Amino acid sequence: MAGSGWQIRVRGQVQGVGFRPFVWQLAQRFGLSGQVANDAEGVLILCDAAPEAFLAALRAEAPVLSRIDAVEVTPAPRPEGAGFRIAASGQVGAETRVTPDAATCPACAEEIRNPGRRQGYAFTNCTHCGPRFTILNALPYDRARTTMAGFPLCPDCAAEYADPGDRRFHAQPIACPTCGPRLWLEVAGAELPGDPIATAAARLQAGQVLAVKGLGGFHLACDATDAAVVALLRARKRRPAKPFAVMAPLEVLRDYCDLSVAALRRLTDPAAPVVLVPAAGRDLPDAIAPGMRELGVMLPYTPLHHLLCAAVGRPLVMTSGNLSGAPQVVGNDEARHKLGPFVDAFLLHDREIARRLDDSVERADPPMVLRRARGLVPGTLPLPEGFPDRQVVAYGGQMKAAICLTKRGQALLSHHLGDLDEALTWAEFQKADRDYAALFDHQPQIVACDLHPEFRATRHAEGRGLPLIRVQHHHAHLAACLGDNLWPLGGGPVAGIVLDGLGLGTDGTVWGGELLLGDYHAVTRVAHLTPAALPGGDRASREPWRNAVIRLDQAGCGDLADRLFADQPLATLRQMAARGVNAPLSSSAGRLFDAVAAVLGLCQVQSYEGEAAMRLEAVAEPAAPYPFGPGLDPAPMFRALAADLGRRPVGQMAGAFQAGLALAFADAARALVEAGQARAVALSGGCLQNAGLMALLQEALSDLPVLVHRQVPANDGGLAFGQALVALAVSG
């Protein structure tokens, strides 16, 4: 088309990340005339030419926080005039997405350390870093619709904001000490004089517990090297054993843990998650992570954290600012009320938090997301090939609750909300449902939920008054793994090894150790762990010794149960199981881990969900597998365990159990693939967060296609994603 110009449409996560000034700079480099603007669909470029080198650079050199889904080039009228400009934005809508909060970039980190107007300023940011989702009140994303609206720009910041050549061009949270939020240290309702960072650091070094206001909520902080204050924090927070996260600069972390290349990559990513890494080198107090070989570590991810960590010079515990089980505190007054009884001082600021976001948690080796939250949300996930463009909302389960929305070929899996048994978490869930729907202009045509009728999420789904699709718990796990791997809708059946705690089965019993055959549309339960009673119902999940007694009795080792648990009400327990009174049958792999941990003396009563299994994983050593019987029966394994007890190291017995479990399921799944019934094996469920078990399964299936979770949690945090995919598949 002679004399024509070109329209270049860029779709994806391309607003609020410095994309327009990036295009402007590219246009100068390539000598192009035209303009670039934001609009409702992303970024729109009109130019007099579209050379291949320019289009290649558009993708290859895009800003670090951007994510390009598509670049569409079509002929258009030639733009008038010379030069290239950044035009005023057109209509901006929910299709453009919101960028997740991002860790302080190297340029801003350098700026707060060196002389200049932002030296020591705790709210320094630019288009490459800083708060996004946690300050957003409404779309479009501009300052007036964020919690920065009450901080008018000073002339210096306004000049940076307006300059396309500045890295703060249209950075909505832009601030400096003259015009931005302020920081202060407060004790007993009174602001203390002096430098708040220096004073806070001195108190931390002196063994105090501080509440620190961050991006998505408050942390409780203390000196991670001080055993006495760590024990004090545990007592005050009523968190006896669940591991604490540790924050420190990279040069400090290296002294306490083994950082692989993969771990470094995740730690230094703009998402800045907590990463589980092996403890190594200098010891931290055992109370940081009782019974664990790994530490959950993170780097400072805001200027406030950078300044505080540098001033303290030691690793800091940074755990959620809440009482165990309750949502993280976000407001200053809320913090004074709820955290006042167990902190010594507050490090506060006056920028409001629009929505609470916990820290994301990941493994690097093997890579997996354990908790999807700050830094990852509201990033979207592409739907696999073949799925219809239909708006679905899915509400997940009761534990590790999350919500999933689908729209225009993308799935938005919400941040981790917590366990819906907790009243405040339930209120937060309802708020998140309204929040996501409003922010992303979501109008669902279909609702998806779990089979369990008593789950709060299920009852919420039933109350929407929309077509409802109920998805079996483990089918949703399998679908989430398939979707995480972009398995096409018509990709064919897979063998799904789904190992988790509890999920209601289609037969009315409690499932949890399953081999499924199927796809997004439907699954068949091919095999499962031999069921055992859960005497006491929910109490059996909290008290592993109960599971141990039943499993030992099944294996003909009741005399061992009598000896190991002589101080427990065994007769009553056995009567409950025999009569089926408050003792539902379950094939749960999670409860099997609990039983083995109790027999090995690792954990008889859990203080947090998953404690027994985590303690078993932490001690497990390589060992030949214990045998499982036909039909995935663990009774032979328990007999072998009983014979070894007291004669063999606990670590070897734990390893032999994990190896036996992995081999039994791998052999059963392999048979489906070799028979031509399945095209691959998918691994899902909360037990697959166990890196040792995952490695054993992958090794046993190394010659077959194996699908594992990467971006979507294998635990119940991924259920909503799987439910949404099943709903899209079965609704036609």
pLDDT in tens, 497-545: 999 999 999 999 999 999 999 999 999 999 999 999 999 999 999 999 9
Spatial distance between the Cα atoms of 45 and 685, rounded to a whole number of angstroms: 44
145 lies in a domain?
no
101 lies in a domain?
no
- Give percent of the chain above pLDDT 70: 98
Residue 94 above 60 pLDDT? no
Residue 69 above 50 pLDDT? yes
Spatial distance between the Cα atoms of 255 and 466, rounded to a whole number of angstroms: 55
Highest mean pLDDT range out of 29-33, 103-107, 324-328?
103-107
Rounded to two decimals, the pTM is 0.94
Q: Which pLDDT score, from 0 to 100, does residue 38 have?
A: 85
Residue 88 exposed, middle or buried by CB count within 10 Å (0-12, 13-18, 19+)? exposed
Per residue in 190-217, pLDDT (tens digit) is 999 999 999 999 999 999 999 999 999 9
Q: Are residues 340 and 410 located together in one domain of the fold?
A: no
Q: Are residues 675 and 537 located together in one domain of the fold?
A: yes
651 lies in a domain?
yes
Final residue of a domain: which of 96, 116, 138? 96
Spatial distance between the Cα atoms of 666 and 118, rounded to a whole number of angstroms: 57
Q: Which pLDDT score, from 0 to 100, does residue 1 have?
A: 38
Q: Are residues 607 and 622 located together in one domain of the fold?
A: yes
Spatial distance between the Cα atoms of 254 and 243, rounded to a whole number of angstroms: 19
Per residue in 340-363, pLDDT (tens digit) is 999 999 999 999 999 999 999 999
Question: Which CATH number covers residue 318?
Answer: 3.90.870.40
Strand, helix or coil for residue 127 = coil
Structural domain count, the chain: 4
Q: Which pLDDT score, from 0 to 100, does residue 704 have?
A: 98
Q: Which pLDDT score, from 0 to 100, does residue 567 have?
A: 96
Q: Which pLDDT score, from 0 to 100, does residue 90 have?
A: 64
Residue 2 above 60 pLDDT? no
631 lies in a domain?
yes
- Closest residue by Cα to residue 573 from 565, 491, 486: 565
Per residue in 298-335, pLDDT (tens digit) is 999 999 999 999 999 999 999 999 877 788 999 999 99
20 is catalytic: yes
Of these residues, 11, 20, 456, 639, which one is catalytic? Answer: 20
Q: Are residues 444 and 575 located together in one domain of the fold?
A: no
Q: What is the mean pLDDT of residues 80-86?
A: 89
Q: What is the mean pLDDT of residues 598-621?
A: 96
- Closest residue by Cα to residue 583 from 549, 538, 613: 538
342 lies in a domain?
yes
Q: Residue 626 — very low, low, confident or very high, per pLDDT cuts 50/70/90? A: very high
Per residue in 538-567, pLDDT (tens digit) is 999 999 999 999 999 999 999 999 999 999
Q: Are residues 385 and 349 located together in one domain of the fold?
A: no
Decide which of 80 and 657 is more confident.
Answer: 657
Q: Which pLDDT score, from 0 to 100, does residue 15 have?
A: 82
Q: What is the mean pLDDT of residues 420-440?
A: 93
Q: Which pLDDT score, from 0 to 100, does residue 91 have?
A: 60
Is residue 44 within 8 Å of 9, Cβ to Cβ?
Answer: yes
- Strands 34-39 and 210-213 turn out to be unpaired
Q: Are residues 321 and 391 located together in one domain of the fold?
A: no
Q: Which pLDDT score, from 0 to 100, does residue 93 have?
A: 55
Structure tokens at 324: 């165990």
Q: Are residues 216 and 321 located together in one domain of the fold?
A: yes
Structure tokens at 610: 């998953």
543 lies in a domain?
yes
- Strands 34-39 and 84-86 turn out to be parallel
Q: State the SS3 of 643-684.
A: HHCCCCCHHHHHHHHHHHHHHHHHHHHHHHHHCCCCCCEEEE
Q: Which pLDDT score, from 0 to 100, does residue 377 have?
A: 96
Spatial distance between the Cα atoms of 701 and 102, rounded to a whole number of angstroms: 37
- Give percent of the chain above pLDDT 90: 89
Q: Are residues 386 and 357 located together in one domain of the fold?
A: no
Give the DSSP letter string of 168-197: TTT-TT---TTTS--EEEEETTEEPSS-HH
Q: Are residues 595 and 699 located together in one domain of the fold?
A: yes
Q: Are residues 602 and 657 located together in one domain of the fold?
A: yes
Question: Which CATH number covers residue 578?
Answer: 3.30.420.40
Final residue of a domain: which of 64, 96, 128? 96
Spatial distance between the Cα atoms of 101 and 318, rounded to a whole number of angstroms: 18
Q: Which pLDDT score, from 0 to 100, does residue 138 have?
A: 85
Q: Residue 3 — very low, low, confident or very high, per pLDDT cuts 50/70/90? A: low
Question: Which CATH number covers residue 46?
Answer: 3.30.70.100
126 lies in a domain?
no
Final residue of a domain: which of 74, 96, 118? 96
Q: Are residues 75 and 205 located together in one domain of the fold?
A: no
Q: What is the mean pLDDT of residues 649-662?
A: 98
Of these residues, 38, 125, 322, 332, which one is catalytic? Answer: 38
715 is catalytic: no
Range of the domain at 316: 183-361
Q: Are residues 546 and 665 located together in one domain of the fold?
A: yes
678 lies in a domain?
yes
Residue 96 above 60 pLDDT? no
Query: What rounded mean pLDDT belongs to the chain?
Result: 95
Q: Which pLDDT score, from 0 to 100, does residue 694 have?
A: 98
Instruction: Calculate the CA 719 to chain-centre distance.
Output: 13
